[in-house]
Structure 1
Amino acid sequence: MGFDFTFHGAQLTALGHRAVWWASQRTLVVSDLHLGKSERHARRGGAALPPYEGRDTLERLRALTDRLDPSTVICLGDSFDDDRAAGALITEERELLAALPKGRRWVWIEGNHDPSPPAFGGEALSKLTLGPLTFRHIATDQSGEVSGHYHPKVVVRHQSRPAFLVDRDRLILPAFGTYTGGLRATDPVLQDLMRPDAIAILCGPRALPCPMPRIKPHARR
């Protein structure tokens, strides 16, 4: 139930589950898990959040790896809500994290929330280049980037849906984490970052492409 598209010569599938599948490389890409968000929120004096988001996020990720059997999994940064969050995970979450990387390459890309993500059986890198694509947390001016960070969303019929944003230079993934918020595609940051012909791919039971919403004519060219 994904949407197939070509990006810099790579045949990719945007999955409605908020992940990218690169079939020829057997590579699964997710972004912004933000594990430990409820614990960090409470630690910093915020309102109490139900403490189940980590398990839900990891179980959804395990379901994808069980179904697709990737040889490589790339987590595009902010996998943990801060550097202390990993140490505060409950036993069940830690066991899930320890099991997921077994038998495959698992890459933790550094994010602004977790500049030193723990390996948990994988490897931590600032960025990763595979073939024509470069995987990093925050988009730069390099063409062929796959990134996260912004948690893009699109409002359709008064309902906000996580979305991929794609143009000829970059692909930005939605957040995979259960408790993550989002930035509307009409926000000036994303309007300026993406080219006028960018598309959005809406997540849900089916991945649905549409033109990226535009609110001003002087977006990036």
Structure 2
Amino acid sequence: MNAALRLILAPARRTCGSLSVRIAGEACVLRCSGAMWVPAHGALIVADLHLEKGSAFAVRGQMLPPYDSRATLDRLEAEIEELAPDLVVLLGDSFHDTRAVPRMALEDRARLDRLATGRDWLWLEGNHDREALNRSMARDAVSDARLPGRIVGDMILGRLRLTHEPEALTADDDRHGEVAGHLHPAAKVAAYGRGVRRPCFVTDGSRIVLPAFGAFTGGLNVLDPAIADLFASPPLAAALGRDRVHALDWSVLR
């Protein structure tokens, strides 16, 4: 990591293996799960859960193990139990398609209700789940399909602006403070004689793109122009390891 980027991010290793950085001056913790914790606001932020992706593929005849929602909610519950957030923000594409909510197992739906109890629970609309969210929040929605919390658009959290899809850079706007998902960033490095590819955060200290939190979500190489062109200078890729977040210089990526 170059000296200028290090000065902006002020990275620091935490005992749990997470990486503490500053985004637009706001202290943020990049968690090994792929979640971002903003301690000053008691806020847990996760992107792109894509719940019920497995069942969506099954409907089309492609059989995937039907446990993705459960695995994703296991990880989310673990973060909530450890951090006890006052606010949980789901950064869009929380559901894979328009019919995902009715396909959820009753125990998974009940778990969502339990996780949301006692805290502010916000769903940002994504391109995959906008209709699903609005159907489930409608007044005539059946009780089994009604979701906890509330739907919001882009929102402000301290110095941060939370949105689903990152916006392209313009000549007079560096998108300062933007926190986004949508692109499922992944970093690839050469290690042990082979390529290793891991979901990652990507940030230049001004804005950040979060990795997808869902179990079956895949990833887009951060060197792809869809991600790389969001940053005026080479950013940091913070890759998710088994028990730590690895800060990777842009120059080592493949």
Instruction: State how far apart, in whole Å, the 1-side matches of 2:177 and 2:40 are.
Output: 17
Q: Which residue of 2 aligns with 1:104?
A: 119
CA distance 1:19–1:74, shift in 2 (3 Å): same
Specify the SS of the correspondent of 2:238: strand
CA distance 1:213–1:79, shift in 2 (3 Å): farther
Q: Number of aligned pairs?
A: 214
Specify the SS of the correspondent of 2:229: helix
Matched letter for residue 181 of structure 1: G
Matched letter for residue 188 of structure 1: P
Match for 2:188 among 137, 146, 155? 155
What per-residue deviation string (whole Å, max 9, x for no partner) do you get for residues 113-163 of structure 1? Answer: 011424521111121111111101001143210000000001122111010
Contact 1:146 1:172 in 2 (8 A): yes
Residue 123 (structure 1) aligned with residue 150 (structure 2): yes
Larger Rg computed on CA atoms: 2
Match for 1:32 among 48, 70, 81? 48
Matched letter for residue 211 of structure 1: D
Contact 2:49 2:213 in 1 (8 A): yes
The farther-off stretch of 166-175 and 67-76 is: 166-175
Contact 2:93 2:125 in 1 (8 A): yes
Contact 1:185 1:213 in 2 (8 A): no
Contact 2:124 2:164 in 1 (8 A): yes
Q: Which sections of structure 2, spanning at least 5 residues, go unmatched?
A: 1-16, 138-146, 170-174
CA distance 1:91–1:202, shift in 2 (3 Å): same
Contact 2:236 2:250 in 1 (8 A): yes
Q: Which residue of 2 aligns with 1:82?
A: 97
Residue 23 (structure 1) aligned with residue 56 (structure 2): no
CA distance 1:92–1:213, shift in 2 (3 Å): farther
The farther-off stretch of 158-167 and 190-199 is: 190-199
Contact 2:29 2:36 in 1 (8 A): yes
Match for 1:138 among 145, 162, 165? 165
Q: Which sections of structure 1, spanning at least 5 residues, go unmatched?
A: 216-221
The farther-off stretch of 26-35 and 162-171 is: 162-171
TM-superposed CA distance for 1:12, in Å, is 0.5
The farther-off stretch of 197-206 and 70-79 is: 197-206
Q: Which residue of 2 aligns with 1:55?
A: 70
Residue 208 (structure 1) aligned with residue 246 (structure 2): yes
TM-superposed CA distance for 1:46, in Å, is 4.4
Q: Which residue of 2 aligns with 1:219?
A: none
Structure-1-length-normalised TM-score: 0.92
Residue 193 (structure 1) aligned with residue 203 (structure 2): no
Superposed structure 1 runs of 4+ greater than 4 Å apart: none
Specify the SS of the correspondent of 1:100: helix
Matched letter for residue 38 of structure 2: W
Question: Within 5 Å, which residues of 2 pair with 1:175-190?
Answer: 175-190=212-227
Specify the SS of the correspondent of 1:73: strand
Specify the SS of the correspondent of 1:92: helix
Instruction: State how far apart, in whole Å, the 1-side matches of 2:215 and 2:251 are.
Output: 24
Specify the SS of the correspondent of 2:57: helix
Structure-2-length-normalised TM-score: 0.81
Instruction: State how far apart, in whole Å, the 1-side matches of 2:152 and 2:97 are.
Output: 16
Instruction: State how far apart, in whole Å, the 2-side matches of 1:40 and 1:13 are.
Output: 33
Contact 2:24 2:207 in 1 (8 A): no
Matched letter for residue 11 of structure 1: A
Instruction: State how far apart, in whole Å, the 2-side matches of 1:145 and 1:66 are.
Output: 27
Contact 1:18 1:163 in 2 (8 A): yes
Matched letter for residue 208 of structure 1: H
